[in-house]
Every structure is written in structure tokens, then in C-alpha cells.
Amino acid sequence: MTQAIEETVRRRLEQLGVEHQLIPCDPELADTAAFCAAYGYALEDSANTILVVGKSTPPRYAVCVVLAVNRLDVNRVVRDRLGVRRASFASAEETSDLAGMMLGGVTVFGLPPGLPVWVDARVMERERIVLGGGSRSVKVEASPAILRAIPGVEVVEGLAR
């Protein structure tokens, strides 16, 4: 699964045509804090990609991108945007099943079509960001402008606190 998702992400990045760099990383150091400490990146420049689920029948999903130093507002903003009474972070199993990615490597590049992608406005203020690369073995470094190149992405004020 790792090799297939990495190839999907690479293809998607090439299709977007936006300058980026792929950064190999030790899978044991893929979680944000460990990655930043080991590879010398600031938490303020790390953007986490989080799958969320609205508790409805059928469940409603969205992907949110927030800086590592902020907390996604699942209980208010995400819930309201999904139009549900309850929302939460998707489980590792749901994330793997829906996106084909493991926690620590989830990225907006290579997601299945039709998933809403919401980006906290503060992400767009950074000069460069580091995002997951689809697996725990690679990260993507780029200008936040790369996110605007993805069709349908919405930048949301106050998505995170």
C-alpha cells in the first residue's frame, strides 16, 4: 500500500505543476513533533492533514489542513460545516479505508474525489509548509499556494484555534 499511495501522490503533485520538494523521512519519525525535532523544521511550518467524520447516516467526511501549533475546531466549525450534530476525528482505520493512508502521512494530494478539503486560513500565511506525503516515509515541502492549486479546496477563517 505504501508504494502505491506514494506513486499516486507523486503523480498528483506533478499534475498540479506547483514547485515542491519531497523529503524522505524515517517512518518512526513521521509524527509531526518527532519529524520537526529530528529534521529541524519548525512546528509553525508543519501543516497536519486530518480526516474528520460527521456522525450521521450515512457518515459525512471532510479533510482539514491546520498548522501543527493550532487545534482543529471539530466541535463547532467542522460540525457546522458538515451540517451534523456530532463530529470527530476519523479513526486510523477509517482514514486508511477511505484515503488509503496511514496517520503520520495523510496528505491532501491523492485523496479520493468528492471529499471536501478545508484549509485553515493561517496555513496560507506561512512562507513554506511541510505536509504529509501519503505514507510515513515521505513529506512534502512547498509554498502554501500548492493547496490553492487543488480544485475545490476552501480556505476557512477560524477552522482551527
Question: Which residues, 6 or more positions from 154, have their beta carbon under 8 angstroms from its beta carbon?
Answer: 116, 117, 118, 119
Residues 161, 157: Cα–Cα separation, whole Å: 10
What is the CATH class of 2-156? alpha beta
Average pLDDT, stretch 39-52? 96
What pLDDT digit, counting tens, does each position of 19-31 carry? 999 999 999 999 9
What pLDDT sits at residue 87?
95
All structural domains of the chain with their residue ranges: 2-156
Average pLDDT, stretch 101-129? 94
Instruction: Report the share of the chain in percent with pLDDT over 70.
Output: 99
Average pLDDT, stretch 97-109? 91
What pLDDT digit, counting tens, does each position of 52-94 carry? 999 999 999 999 999 999 999 999 999 999 999 999 999 999 9
Average pLDDT, stretch 135-158? 95
Query: At residue 1, does pLDDT exceed 80?
Result: no
* Cβ proximity of 129 and 46 under 8 Å: yes
pLDDT band at 104 (very low <50, low <70, confident <90, very high): confident
Element (H, E) at 148: helix 145-148
What pLDDT sits at residue 38?
96
Q: Which of 60, 154, 63, 46 is nearest to 110 (CA)?
A: 63
Cβ-count burial 118-153 (b if 16+ within 10 Å, e if not): bbbebbbebeebbbbbbbbbbbbbbbbebbeeeeeb
Average pLDDT, stretch 132-148? 95
Count of alpha carbons within 13 Å of 143, Cβ hemisphere only?
A: 8
CA angle 44, 66, 42 (to 5 degrees): 15
Average pLDDT, stretch 22-41? 95
Average pLDDT of every residue of the chain: 94
